[in-house]
Amino acid sequence: MSNPGRRQDVDDLSIKLLKLLERRAALTIGELATMLDAPPDEVARRIHHLEHARVLVGRHALINWERVGEEPVAALIEVRVSPQREVGFGAVAARIARFPEARSVQLLSGTYDLAVEVTGRTMKDVASFVSEKLAPLDGVQGTTTHFLLKRYKEDGEVFDEPEPPPRLPYAP
Amino acid sequence: MQTISEPPVERSARKDRVAARVRGVAPSGIRRFFELIQTMDDVISLGVGEPDFTTPWHIREAAIYSLERGFTMYTSNLGLIELRRALADHLALRYGVAYDPGDEILITFGVSEGLDLAMRAILDPGDEVLVPDPGYVSYAPCVTFAGGVVRPVPTSATDGFRPRPADFADRVTTTTRAVLLGYPNNPTGTAPNRETLSAIARVVAERDLIAVSDEIYDRLIYGREHVCFASLPEMRDRTILLGGFSKAYAMTGWRVGYAAAPRDLLAGMLKIHQYTALCASITSQMAAIEALKNGEAAVTSMVEEYDRRRRVIVKGLNDVGLTCHDPEGAFYAFPSTMATGQSDEEFAEHLLLEEHVAVVPGSAFGACGRNHVRCCYATSLPQIEEALRRIDTYVKRKRQG
């Protein structure tokens, strides 16, 4: 079953563990152990190992800040980059990624190279980050800023999914 | 002159307007709980009998598209040939049983209709049907409505509610017509292994019976393979196989299922279906085609999720002292209420009133379900965990009291 490209130290149980955590990061060791039918010690050992190997790189909550009324301003920045000898796009990407304003940095195929999601308190914050920090970087040829107007779905979760209609409380 | 109109004697002798055969069937044991729950809020229901997932979007979308294209007419009595072909392929591939989509597969309003058709097609008045107890609530009434007589085959918690083949053999008489099996089982979650089912199949063959096998939960099975009864030696030609889309694809409200049977039996069922139902809803049939074609990934991920919840609820119930066998299939755990000293009815009622957790008393599924309750784990994990905390509080209080 296992994929030939898979790391040697990640077996089927670890894959199941990762898939569970990917959807529900807050599960405790005990809960994970019951669900996976594995000893708690083993689950704890694997989590530690996966964190150490930077396979499990974070465990975050997904929050709809719009509901709170405190959503930050976000923009998707298309960045065109001239690749550099030996490092390609990597050096510029790494440089951008170190800015805390950059929420995500991805390399894409197509008409531009890097997609950078930038967040800030105000539109001006975002705009000045782009013009003062991002655009002037060596290797950056140009940017296009798209302000994000609404998030409908993120990480597999639909934000405004209506409550499903109730089921019969008792059914045969 | 006085005229006295004489009432017809037969009419007046018959006080009740409902037929005796119908009167004789007791109303559902869970009706009373329905009324109790209406008055309450903050209830966690483990009393449900359907998936908590909504039908996968690609299936709903296919149904919407079929409406847009104007598929709003009757289908053949048997159902859409595309669906019957897809089912024939599915059954051949998955279980190695071959059915002719032309006249051995019938699309029904879920297994419920298929069950009724099967009973009416095969039973003459007084014919007996062997039915494992506990079993799904509709089995006995469907036999009765069709004029048959139910002979329960007891099962017990000590065997994990697995039926014992000898118990079937012992109960066969000259009037026995059929065995009615429902595995994986509602309410117990039990799924007997191939050996047990094969031994039951031998009884069916030796005593020249018909097997009616309700396999609606065939896909919801954990850590083992489902054994299709019709795939056992000599059983294809003796079995009416009933299946559907409700549980595997989370499609309970679509009311679409199927019966697969040798042609003579299917022809009998079709005769009733064509006069009483005409055909299953075309929209639901279109959805079912999409489910078979592209639904596999959704089934796998739902089954994985049920399996995780199954482990949590079974461990949780055993930890609080409600002894519970490991259910191999469906989405029910069936723990004993004996630790509380309460019967299943008392337990279910007081757990609902005191802790707002709904479970179904096992005796609703037959005498052998007594002192057990059915807990459905087709609900989210946080809900299951909260329900387990409330059950724990309840059990502790009853043990002290």
pLDDT class of B315 with cuts at 50, 70, 90: very high
Position B3 scores a pLDDT of: 53
Name the least confident of A161-165, B144-148, B324-328: A161-165
State the pairing for strand pair B357-358/B44-45. parallel
Nearest-5° angle of CA A19, CA A25, CA A30? 90
A172/B43 touch (CB, cutoff 8 Å), yes or no: no
pLDDT in tens, B205-256: 999 999 999 999 999 999 999 999 999 999 999 999 999 999 999 999 999 9
- A24, A164, A170: residue with CB nearest B34: A170
pLDDT class of A34 with cuts at 50, 70, 90: very high
A167/B47 touch (CB, cutoff 8 Å), yes or no: no
Position A6 scores a pLDDT of: 84
B308 Cβ under 8 Å from any chain A Cβ: yes
Question: How confident is the prediction for chain A on average, in pLDDT?
Answer: 93
Predicted confidence (pLDDT) at residue B293 exceeds the cutoff of 60: yes
Predicted confidence (pLDDT) at residue B5 exceeds the cutoff of 80: no
A38 Cβ under 8 Å from any chain B Cβ: no
Position B8 scores a pLDDT of: 55
Average pLDDT in the B27-37 region? Answer: 84
The Cα of A121 is separated from the nearest Cα of chain B by a number of Å equal to 34
What distance, in Å, lies between the first and last C-alpha atoms of chain B?
Answer: 76
A169/B50 touch (CB, cutoff 8 Å), yes or no: no
The Cα of A24 is separated from the nearest Cα of chain B by a number of Å equal to 11
Distance CA B111, CA A40 (A): 41
Predicted confidence (pLDDT) at residue B352 exceeds the cutoff of 60: yes
B137 Cβ under 8 Å from any chain A Cβ: yes
B161 half-sphere exposure, CB direction, 13 A CA radius: 35
Distance CA B251, CA B255 (A): 7
- A35, A169, A171: residue with CB nearest B308: A35
Radius of gyration of chain A measured on its C-alpha atoms: 21
Q: Distance of CA B72 to CAs A104, B82, B99, B171, B275, Å?
A: 48, 16, 28, 48, 20
Question: Residue B310 in contact with residue B327, Cβ under 8 Å?
Answer: yes
Burial of A82 by CB count in 10 Å (0-12 exposed, 13-18 middle, 19+ buried)? exposed
Q: Minimal Cα distance from B37: which residue of A?
A: A169
Predicted confidence (pLDDT) at residue B6 exceeds the cutoff of 60: no
Position A94 scores a pLDDT of: 95
Distance CA B151, CA B70 (A): 48
Average pLDDT in the B29-57 region? Answer: 90
pLDDT in tens, B162-211: 999 999 999 999 999 999 999 999 999 999 999 999 999 999 999 999 99
A172/B30 touch (CB, cutoff 8 Å), yes or no: yes
B43/A169 touch (CB, cutoff 8 Å), yes or no: yes
B169 Cβ under 8 Å from any chain A Cβ: no
Phi, psi torsion values for B370, nearest 5 degrees = -55, 145
Question: Residue B134 in contact with residue B369, Cβ under 8 Å?
Answer: yes
ipTM of the prediction greater than 0.85, yes or no: no
Position A4 scores a pLDDT of: 77
Write out chain A residues lying below 8 Å of B385, CB-based: 31
- B54, B138, B358: residue with CB nearest A172: B138
Write out chain A residues lying below 8 Å of B138, CB-based: 172
Distance CA A101, CA A94 (A): 13
What distance, in Å, lies between the first and last C-alpha atoms of chain A?
Answer: 38
pLDDT in tens, A113-167: 999 999 999 999 999 999 999 999 999 999 999 999 999 999 989 998 888 888 8
Distance CA A30, CA B279 (A): 50
B28/A167 touch (CB, cutoff 8 Å), yes or no: no
Predicted confidence (pLDDT) at residue B12 exceeds the cutoff of 80: no
Choose between B14 and B219: higher pLDDT. Answer: B219
Position B141 scores a pLDDT of: 96
A165 Cβ under 8 Å from any chain B Cβ: no
B50 Cβ under 8 Å from any chain A Cβ: yes
B37 Cβ under 8 Å from any chain A Cβ: yes
- B54, B308, B358: residue with CB nearest A170: B358
Chain A interface test: which of B28, B38, B43, B45 (most A C-beta within 10 Å): B45
What 3-state class would DSSP assign to A94?
helix
Question: How confident is the prediction for chain B on average, in pLDDT?
Answer: 95
Position B1 scores a pLDDT of: 47
Tally: H helices and E strands in chain A: 6, 6
B33/A172 touch (CB, cutoff 8 Å), yes or no: no
Chain A interface test: which of B32, B111, B308 (most A C-beta within 10 Å): B308
Name the least confident of A60-74, B179-193, B274-288: A60-74
Percent of chain A whose pLDDT exceeds 90: 80
Question: Residue B248 in contact with residue B218, Cβ under 8 Å?
Answer: yes
- A24, A31, A172: residue with CB nearest B28: A172
Chain A interface test: which of B224, B311, B360 (most A C-beta within 10 Å): B311
- A–B: how many Cβ contacts below 8 A? 51
Q: Minimal Cα distance from B28: which residue of A?
A: A172
Question: Residue B146 in contact with residue B123, Cβ under 8 Å?
Answer: yes
Residue B401, both tokens: 């009291």
Chain position carrying tokens 């946080």: B382
Predicted confidence (pLDDT) at residue B380 exceeds the cutoff of 60: yes
Name the least confident of A17-26, B95-104, B260-269, B276-285: A17-26
Write out chain A residues lying below 8 Å of B49, CB-based: 168, 170-172
Radius of gyration of chain B measured on its C-alpha atoms: 22
pLDDT class of B10 with cuts at 50, 70, 90: low
Average pLDDT in the B70-97 region? Answer: 98
Average pLDDT in the B4-22 region? Answer: 70
Position B231 scores a pLDDT of: 98
For the beta carbon of residue B62, count every other beta carbon within 10 angstroms: 19
